[in-house]
Amino acid sequence: MQGTQQAFRKAAFIKHCYILLFCICISCSYAHAAGFQDSDTIKVTLRVNKMSLKQVLRLIEKQTGLTFAISSSIVENAKDISIQVQHQPLKDVLRQIFTPGQYAWEIRNKQIIIYPSSQSPSLQGTPNRPISTEPEKFYVSGVVSDGERPLPGVSIREKGTHNGVSTSENGRYRLQVTNGQAVLSLSLIGYETQVIPLKERHNVDALLQGDTKILNDLVIIGYGIQNKANITGSITKIEGRRLKSRPVTNVIAALQGTAPGLLVTRNNGQPGKEGFNIQIRGLSSVNNSDPLILVDGAPGSIALMNPNDIESVSVLKDAAAASIYGPLAASGVVLVTTKRGKPGPVSVEYNSLFGVEKPINLPERMHSWQAAALQNEALQNAGRPAAWSPREIAMMQDPTINFTPKTDGSGNYNYYDDINPIKNVTRNNSTTSTYNVSARGGTTDHQFLLSLGQFSRQGLFNIGSDNTSRTNLQLNINNRLSEVLSLETSIQYAKSRTQSPGWRVDGHKGILNYLYQQPGNVPVYVPGTNQYTAGYNGYALLKDAGKRDEQTSFADAVFTLKAENLLKGLTLKTVYSPQLNNYYDGLGKKTIDFYEASGLINSVNNPNSLKRGRLLEVQHSLQLLADYDLPAGKKNSVHILGGYAFESHYQHQKITAATDVSPSELAQLTFNNPERYFSYHFKGAGTLSSLFTRINYNYNDRYLLEANLVAAKLLFNSSEIPELNRQHLFPSFSAGWRLNNEKWFASAFPFFDEFKLRASWGMVGSYNWRTNLNDFNYYDQLHHPNVYPITSYTDFDRYIPGNNNWETITTANGGLDMAFFKGRLNINADYFVKHNPRMQIATQELMTELLIAPVFYSAAMRSWGWELNLGWRDNRGSFSYWVNANLFDDQNKIEHSNGNAPWLPGNNHGLDGLPYNAILGYKSDGYFQNNNEVSNHAYQGINTAAGDLRYTDVNHDGSINSGNATKADHGDLVYLGSSQPRYSYGFDAGFSWKGLDFSVFLQGIGQRKVLVQGKYSMPFVQDWQQPWEIHQDSWRPDNPDAAFPRLYAGYNQNLASSSFWVMNAAYIRLKNLQLGYTFHFAQNRPLIKSIRIYFSGQDLWEVNKMKIKYYDPEQATSNGYQYPFFRSFTLGLNATF
């Protein structure tokens, strides 16, 4: 079956490739005319105010697909430019930029050559040298790149002469210079000029470093784009190149550690079920900490995206940056921008990854005879007789004896096997693969990008179903409809499928639980049969308990119609996005019988059952936007944004279930007899609308002010929020001061390229309205009233307090942005405080059979923290390198709570005066070394003895207990820390040199506490729970400083929540390492421009201080039965055609 499915997947992928190639062929003929346009037919639109010549030329390059060949001295000495043109011929635009009579230009081979009117332009590949001089015939050639791809249109000039050429489409050049001691100057708009002495070399490859000021100049913000230098809110931009070429399941995994304040966690490594979670600056509310995610300006899904399709990600972190989205932005906003087409011939890029993965930290099982000896010890400590005689333990060590008949006449067996249940069912190496093909190109007025991707990954288990796969399609089209109208279209489609066992894999009573702890002396099958042995048989559950099939189909489109310069400075924009998400979950549970030799003992999943669930979500969003640049004089700049946003959301969930299904129905997850199943539905719908405005004021690029105001209204079926409270205003204000543009500051501190102070305050809302739509449910077919007792329509009502309202979070932020050494060194720092005065918490009051626990505002949360980002980027000749580091910390505290949450040992939520996720427990100060110490200590329990944990009597009442479990009286419980991560950091560095590139990325957490529950970490809590290798180091009189307390069969006080079981989950992990080499091909090979071959490794190494090495510090759960993470070793190929 699996082979057939793989064949179908391959066939489908091949089919998609044919479709893609067909589209490319059509697009090639569509875009071919781009190379024959002149300055009359090429149209340009510019709306700039006091922008440098370098920036203006870069904007023209993006619109036209042409590159500029121009002397760096002209660019550096040019004054700032202000120009307003709409769809004007290129030649007219150039006349406004370059003074006629002083400069001239020509367009040749897709290059705009700018030169003084008194000189002649250089022909590509032909040196322009003074006629009066007869130079030596010294030729130099090479390739110019940016470390990832060749650069066309680079101006290469011999210093001190007018001699020069421009690089071809594949970055190659050939130039005749005066002699071997000549010096070359290489320049390209958007890159730093580089000067290279020849030193008699005939071959010189060069690497241009992107001009940081230019490349990072524009940042995507709420409902627009803004110059980075003028941003007053806290925003971090992540380039898409940092996310690609990594063997990760989805984009969320690639974002981990890339930006300060952006915290990404994962629960386990199961393919398709990793449980990724995103937080921006920690918790804002205990009810909803998920950020708002927008893709190309409309609500979207990032989890199913292809990392290769992403151009950039902007993270809006403070209220000033995010408040424009009002009630949805309390936890921050993530803005994803996908790649788009560019003018020019069609370029095709192919990227593939294939690798193997190895599980991390699987528990080491002991031999069966070793486990038997420890079990005898545990039983003895509990005052019970031994389970195994010395003879039986010796038999376990004899490979010729696996079982013997019991002497009680039952015909059953005693088992003496030595089996490692984990190794029997797990792969040594799993595989993962990624394939992506994309094409882009077009004319000045029409561009496209088409991308197709396929991802697949195997899981840990070598039997049963354990895999995931995803297919992605991205189509982006830009169309210039007229001189004032343009239309941008983005279409995204993703389909994922995850197959897993029909029995729960992780957690308590999961398959991993049984594999990690089931007895190793018992075989899988009763000897001589194919019947499963009785007991906790993880192999049987994995192989025959059934299967689960989860499929998600996601499709959305974003249509952006823009009208520019209807009036001078006015732009109108309409953004409409329909979205469809269809989730299917099929779960078939097959009966498994367990036997002794004498016959059937028990069964699970009896009878066979089948459940199929479908969730349909339909969403529509509409935005009407107006941007206006208000004329305000030379030194003043005023920008006004006004708009209306509407969003509707509909959910329909249907679950169908049946019992006594046939084996064929289980295999296909289908129902053959509709008379034997029942189904029920959940439906919900809602809308959210808002009016908003933003005003930006800029005085002489020194003083920056911004104000936002959002009026939002919520309408939907649920009555959680009363009608009168469903509308709210959300204001925010921010200011910035660019001291580097003050004359006195520039004179006193000339080494600063940028020095900006920022401050902001704002209010945002928190209500996850999309997940609170299910206002009613009903059952439409009920044919098994004995199994399903509900036989009529049932409406689950809610108690609604009259004072319910939005959760509103206020945020204050202060920041500093600095740049030194011509933008090579950048430092950004922020400090923030958030306050949620009316946070919803659930109470236990008014609970009846048909009444859900009410929710109302009864607590406040305050959180605060800081973040720091440092980056250095430089190049020396053809060697380019970079180093980036970020660090973030946040804390929170429940300020007051009028609920009745008890103070109990373990993980607690919402306790007054403590952080959310607070850990309470007893303070352990070692082991009792003898019974005299037990007698002289506070009473801990009747079974306390030497080798047990010793707890501190905090309240000195002579007994260890939790008192009345209240804030006023919680006995000897103490606060042991919080499971919320602190001091999260990321570090990446790399270099490129003559086609060779290397990068390393590390990520970690500086402080975090994890409570490992003792009952999941000690063996023999139940007799069948087997020990791991580490349990050899348990307390005995001759091992007083052991890693674990004495072994004990059953429950005792050692399992209580205490400081002993609170582990330091700080870690540093090598998230990614890449090493690659790029081959650039000559211009006479038109089919291929470059090939990059690379190695990419993920999660290759880590250091942590977890007491139990089988627990991963990234996993947030308190038990060790979690699906392990993997180390990934992949080889990749990237080819550009």
Has residue 327 got a pLDDT over 90? no
pLDDT score at 569: 85
Among the residue ranges 262-266, 694-698, 1039-1043, 1080-1084, the one predicted with the least confidence is 1080-1084
Q: What share of the chain is helix, strand, coil (3-state, %, to 5)?
A: 15, 50, 35
Start-end ranges of CATH 2.60.40.1120 in the chain? 37-213
pLDDT score at 725: 60
pLDDT-derived band of residue 9, with 50, 70 and 90 as boundaries? very low
Among the residue ranges 295-299, 842-846, 920-924, 1035-1039, the one predicted with the least confidence is 842-846
| DSSP per residue, 1038-1085 | TBTT-SB----SS--GGGS-BGGGEEEEEEEEEEEEEEEEEEE--TT-
- Give the integer Cα–Cα distance in Å for 1045 and 31: 74
- Looking at residue 605, its amino acid is N
Closest CA to 1074 of 188, 245, 161, 225: 245
Above pLDDT 70, what percent of the chain? 85
- Give the integer Cα–Cα distance in Å for 257 and 253: 9
Among the residue ranges 236-245, 418-427, 429-438, 690-699, the one predicted with the least confidence is 236-245
pLDDT score at 723: 58
Q: Please report which helix (H) or strand (E) contains residue 473, including its range.
A: strand 467-480
27 in helix, strand or coil? helix
- Give the integer Cα–Cα distance in Å for 113 and 1079: 28
Average pLDDT score over residue span 131-158: 71
pLDDT score at 37: 46
> Where do we find the tokens 């990854």?
353
pLDDT score at 921: 95
Contacts of 60-64 spanning 24+ positions with Cβ under 8 A: 60/90, 60/93, 60/112, 61/189, 61/190, 62/342, 63/343, 63/444, 64/90, 64/343, 64/444
Residues in the chain: 1137
**Residue 676: DSSP 8-state:** G
Q: Which residues pair with 275 in a beta bridge?
A: none
Has residue 1037 got a pLDDT over 70? yes
Q: How far is CA 779 from CA 182, 294, 587, 675, in A?
A: 85, 36, 20, 15
Start-end ranges of CATH 2.170.130.10 in the chain? 225-352
pLDDT score at 983: 96
Distance between start and end Cα atoms, the chain: 38
Has residue 339 got a pLDDT over 80? yes
Q: How far is CA 814 from CA 218, 524, 790, in A?
A: 22, 63, 57
Calculate the average pLDDT of the chain: 84
Contacting residues for 389 by C-beta, under 8 A, at least 6 apart: none
Residue 1085: count of CB within 10 angstroms of its CB: 9
pLDDT-derived band of residue 805, with 50, 70 and 90 as boundaries? low
Has residue 183 got a pLDDT over 50? yes
> Where do we find the tokens 């071919």?
32
Among the residue ranges 69-78, 430-439, 799-808, the one predicted with the least confidence is 799-808
Handedness of CA 929, 935, 936, 937 (dihedral sign): positive
Contact at 8 Å (CB) between 493 and 539? no
Residue-wise pLDDT tens digits, 70-96: 776 677 778 888 888 877 888 888 888
Average pLDDT score over residue span 781-808: 41
Q: Is 203 exposed, middle or buried (0-12, 13-18, 19+ CB in 10 A)?
A: exposed
pLDDT score at 63: 82
Has residue 778 got a pLDDT over 80? no
- Give the integer Cα–Cα distance in Å for 1061 and 1059: 5
pLDDT-derived band of residue 792, with 50, 70 and 90 as boundaries? very low
Contacting residues for 942 by C-beta, under 8 A, at least 6 apart: none
Q: Which residue has the higher pLDDT, 604 or 15?
A: 604
- Give the integer Cα–Cα distance in Å for 579 and 867: 35
Rounded to 5°, the CA angle 933-939-940 comes to 95
Residue-wise pLDDT tens digits, 721-762: 555 567 889 999 999 999 999 999 999 999 999 999 999 999
Contact at 8 Å (CB) between 949 and 1058? yes
Contact at 8 Å (CB) between 911 and 897? yes
Average pLDDT score over residue span 656-672: 80
- Tell whether domain 37-213 is in CATH 3.20.20.70: no
Residue-wise pLDDT tens digits, 249-269: 788 999 999 999 999 988 889
CA atoms within 13 A on the CB side of 966: 6
> Where do we find the tokens 């038990």?
1119
Q: Which residue has the higher pLDDT, 62 or 36?
A: 62
Has residue 718 got a pLDDT over 80? no
- Give the integer Cα–Cα distance in Å for 587 and 502: 6
Closest CA to 192 of 207, 175, 179, 204: 207
Contact at 8 Å (CB) between 434 and 453? yes
Among the residue ranges 103-107, 187-191, 845-849, the one predicted with the least confidence is 845-849
Among the residue ranges 644-648, 905-909, 975-979, the one predicted with the least confidence is 905-909
| DSSP per residue, 86-113 | EEEEHHHHHHHHS-BTTEEEEEETTEEE
783 in helix, strand or coil? coil
- Give the integer Cα–Cα distance in Å for 653 and 638: 48
pLDDT-derived band of residue 430, with 50, 70 and 90 as boundaries? very high
Average pLDDT score over residue span 694-710: 94
Average pLDDT score over residue span 848-868: 68
Has residue 677 got a pLDDT over 60? yes
Has residue 848 got a pLDDT over 90? no
Residue environment code for 33-45, b if the CB has 16+ CB neighbours within 10 A, otherwise e: ebeebebeebbbb
- Give the integer Cα–Cα distance in Å for 1100 and 1003: 12
Q: How far is CA 602 from CA 412, 484, 787, in A?
A: 15, 76, 21
CATH architecture of 225-352: Beta Complex (2.170)
Residue-wise pLDDT tens digits, 1096-1124: 999 999 999 888 888 889 886 666 678 99
pLDDT score at 29: 38
Residue-wise pLDDT tens digits, 546-584: 999 999 999 999 999 999 878 888 999 999 999 999 999
